[in-house]
Amino acid sequence: MLKNEYNCRLILEEFGDNPFLPLFYEDPKRFAFTVELFFMTERHEQMERNLLNQDLFHQFTVADYTFVKTLLFASKNLTQEKFRLFQKMFQVLNQSLPRPDILVYFHRNVDLLMENIRKRGRSYEKHITADYLTEIQNSYFEYFRNILSFPILIIDLNTIDFVDNPNHYEQLKYIISKNYNPGVHRISLSM
């Protein structure tokens, strides 16, 4: 929606290209390192291609993920030994990428996320549990607490439908466009 309105550059995660993802959901211990390594290299290549090349036709870029997502998921999916190795590779790759001007985290409770997963109907996602999603959310929140170099907006979307409700979309645009100090800002819209 933002891309259409502002003609900004849009980066959408290409998770469907990961051939190891269905295998990971079937046997997480066996395929965790492979799936996370594939995601890291794919995300880095995509971010590098889109963010490090100057674009004269777009004033800003919107992405539906941040590269640190790679590390947050790996921290939950890998053994400690494999995570330490993964973390070293991540740090090398992460150094080349710019930091966001602002990070917007759309938060939904786990029950709504589980319902969305069910509605999508991807067979390989049927093994995702509410506990796993809670762990991932907690990883994001832990990460956010330690960021003081750019603003992070945590926006509660439990009662918001910005796709089908133009007023919700306008409110979100307004909130995102404001100036914020670095650090975490929790925002709940009452509708």
Is the pLDDT score of 191 beyond 70? no
Domain boundary among 98, 124, 158: 98
When divided into structural domains, the chain yields a total of 2
Cα–Cα dist 109/112, whole Å: 6
pLDDT tens per residue across span 5-52: 888 999 999 877 789 988 898 898 999 999 999 999 999 999 999 888
Domain boundary among 98, 117, 139: 98
pLDDT at 53: 78
The whole-model pTM stands at 0.89
pLDDT tens per residue across span 100-155: 999 999 999 999 999 989 998 888 888 889 999 999 999 999 999 999 999 999 99
Is the pLDDT score of 190 beyond 70? no
Q: What is the torsion angle, in degrees rounded to the nearest 10, for the CA atoms of residue 122, residue 62, residue 153 and residue 162? A: -60
Domain boundary among 49, 72, 98: 98
Look-up: residue for tokens 């997480």?
A: 28
pLDDT at 189: 77
pLDDT tens per residue across span 58-103: 888 999 999 999 999 999 999 999 999 999 999 999 999 999 999 9
Q: Are residues 26 and 66 in the same domain?
A: yes
The CATH number for 82's domain is: 3.40.50.300
